[in-house]
Structure 1
């Protein structure tokens, strides 16, 4: 018999699943091209789920359910809350763009988005290898369908095929690594795997062999070098609304399963996975920033930017376990990574929000030249884009600066010579990265516009975009609240 606590841990997932099915059925009777009723009910559902998750997180309770297969803790609940809010914002930005391209005719955008979010929830809550994999597959299958939503568009269909093939390969890596861990430890439970490895009774070579495949699968989901091949092609080929859908909230879920698997389950093997993540981080910072300089397509440029930004997230993770350091030190390093990924998603939402606004029916605004003279046409949206570019470049006083600073402080605090070298390398790569961010700002403010048309946005998009950009500035000026929230959530996770 399933106890009450088990049901409490999955209430948000149940609400999402039920409402996704209800909205899919309800949409059959909606005839308006804008899908106003479907849109409204979807946003209401997401708002309720976000409030419920925030309430769970503020309670500070850690509950295990269904035989320890799922966990509801502060870190997971905050990540689910932020993923829900990111999905809400994405749908607000995506609706006008999608309506112009006949992507709302069946309501699949809303139902698939809810199922993708449900997959993220299952990933974040998973305390069992199979549960984590089930959530991952639900997210990726929904994402494949979303990328191919414009069925008559050859570019989108090609991007979906590439995503599907490479995604299947990455899922195979992850599943094979999980099977190796199960064979070595005899358990699928993350906590039991930790205890089995910590006992020292299992051959180290077998564990490392499985760990290599686990890290490869996680690296694909994070989009870091050398498993980054899908990111530029899918970002560029997918409809811009879907690019935001797969480039925003899923990063939070990918971070969560990285923490669940590597920190909660495989911490005794930290010396091994830290070295692997170090190579991935260096490659991502180097290739991501250098390749972005050569891009003239803004979506492709932001894809390589994502690769370099995820390199910074990995830097925080590798500095979390150093010989002789205490729990507060580890919590500080992991919370810096959590803060980084949350603020990165926040900035990415506003960035693609402006790109979606500039796109018109039959015209994708994704080349650098499309942003020429934007300040003369629409000063507000040029200002929003400039704020986002400065934040991604790590220029104070915006939130991107503090995010980078917190990760670099965690590296320096380790006191290890290798990590000090990584700090210097990361700063140099950030300077390289500043070039392509500032180039876009220069194009918006100093180049002559190629069109005189002004940018017109619906009221809901305009309000949300201004709030989004305002948060990027406010969290840069006052980052302590969100940083304290991340620190408390990570400390609670490590304590249990």
Structure 2
């Protein structure tokens, strides 16, 4: 009798993902067996130890070299982009989890609701508040989401990618509805995110089915081979299946990325969710989504880029324009940062659409779409986490003071905090000597080398428009006097060390990579090749 070969799993390469996912499961068990008084400390230790261990393993595997490997029965590709994205996801995840554990800025309680099932304003909620209960399971939920974010951009087939999409999405739906203050707004945000997220998942699933019908394979390499060889099991209808499947897959991925016209959830969810969750989503979810988008369209659909490039270019322009223009009209800091994140999604898509080297084979050593996007993700993610961490520190008698009117004159009351926030805003605007400037320069250079000169010109013009609303906030903080009948201005409270660490990481990355970007750019270039 013939022998059956055992499947190749490659546990050593999957170990970072396994560690994070296993820690999430341990955290769930800890909720059942650890005494209530010790749960918070236990969950913090489990989460941070897991992330640090996973980060060390990722760096060790990455430093071992090699061009990448396909593991997990060909379902996961651990290559340069995967290792780079896993590294920044774990770093930003650890910083975000520190914000989850913050108590000092919220008068000794967490930012999360004491009893999620209680109707806001009821006796049950008041009793939970008086008993100082808190949801310590937010950290296991965040670990589940982080594990999904790690698997999402590493997926080598569409089924694994869909599973990863659900693993990262479902915990986020819950986390968005757990804000301690403004409970109704938080629950509304969670419901909107869930309904629209479920719809986008359905689009993704339908697109999977159509691409399978076209190629007979869920593997990205199999889809790519079918396109290159002109092979379709559906006869003349094959092209229609390919284009329809490609479009539906794009809808699911662009929704998670927050691109126009699938962006409507972003402002409401970012505003209603607890600010630590918003910081986690705004940085890590975007990183995972663009990683998955690049893998699908470069590895699986790269041979058909002449069909998807024009559409993605239009999406990039619309995303940059809508995000920048609507941000100007906002009076809430969190909503402004939400529209800012939409605009930055458009700038990232500018490099993605250029498809330089990743698909076309540009000269070795030049800036590529993949390397420029990965540098931009570091610059944007660090500034975003730092900005939201500082938002948690600006408070009035009702909690976080997110109305811009409360920030008027903040530079005189708390000059250091206002200066730090200004650094983040200047990075978002792409001002020289910040990492945001190098990031924008790199994505524009990648798009230019890809031949999309007109798109670069449009992006530069929109960047100038976008700079207006960032500078406006700086003017409000430093050069505007509060009105006489204005409400009591906000003050900056002294945070715990975890929030200070988030701000410190953001400032350090923004300044260091703005002045000395060479090592990070080189690292991104060396990690820019997808395994096929």
Q: Is this a same-fold pair by TM over 0.5?
A: yes
Q: Is the 8 A contact 1:320 1:331 kept in 2?
A: no
Deviations 1:82-125 (A, max 9, x none): 11111111121232267344547231210000000011112122
1:24 matched to 2:28: yes
Q: Is the 8 A contact 2:394 2:490 kept in 1?
A: no
Q: Distance in 2 between matches of 1:234 and 1:289?
A: 18
Give 3-state SS (helix, strand or coil) of 2:400's partner.
Answer: coil
Q: Is the 8 A contact 2:208 2:245 kept in 1?
A: yes
Deviations 1:396-440 (A, max 9, x none): 0100001111111122233x4xx2221111111111101111111
Q: CA RMSD for the aligned pairs?
A: 2.2
1:45 to 50, 54, 60: 50
Q: Distance in 2 between matches of 1:360 and 1:398?
A: 31
Deviations 1:172-201 (A, max 9, x none): 111111110001100111111111111012
1:83 matched to 2:89: yes
Q: Distance in 2 between matches of 1:372 and 1:77?
A: 43
Q: Distance in 1 between matches of 2:14 and 2:360?
A: 38
Q: Distance in 1 between matches of 2:24 and 2:459?
A: 42
Distance 1:248 1:465, change over 3 A: same
Q: Which structure has the highest helix share of the two?
A: 1
Structure 1 unaligned segments of length 5 or more: list them.
Answer: none
Structure of larger gyration radius: 2
| 1:206 alignment partner in structure 2 | 241
Q: Is the 8 A contact 1:331 1:490 kept in 2?
A: no
1:172 matched to 2:202: yes
Structure 2 unaligned segments of length 5 or more: list them.
Answer: 115-133, 233-237, 483-487
Deviation of 1:78 (Å): 1.6
| 2:127 alignment partner in structure 1 | none
Distance 1:166 1:313, change over 3 A: same
Q: Distance in 1 between matches of 2:472 and 2:111?
A: 30
Q: TM-score w.r.t. structure 2 length?
A: 0.87
Q: TM-score w.r.t. structure 1 length?
A: 0.93
Q: Is the 8 A contact 1:60 1:73 kept in 2?
A: no
How many residues are aligned here? 491
Deviations 1:360-409 (A, max 9, x none): 67412211122222222322221210100000000001000011111111
Compare 134-143 and 328-337 and name the one that shifted more: 328-337
Q: Distance in 1 between matches of 2:467 and 2:287?
A: 24
Deviation of 1:326 (Å): 3.2
Deviation of 1:81 (Å): 1.5
Give 3-state SS (helix, strand or coil) of 1:249's partner.
Answer: helix
Give 3-state SS (helix, strand or coil) of 1:149's partner.
Answer: coil
1:35 matched to 2:40: yes
1:69 matched to 2:75: yes
Q: Is the 8 A contact 2:210 2:245 kept in 1?
A: yes
Distance 1:442 1:45, change over 3 A: same
Q: Is the 8 A contact 1:27 1:106 kept in 2?
A: no
1:342 matched to 2:378: yes
1:469 matched to 2:473: no
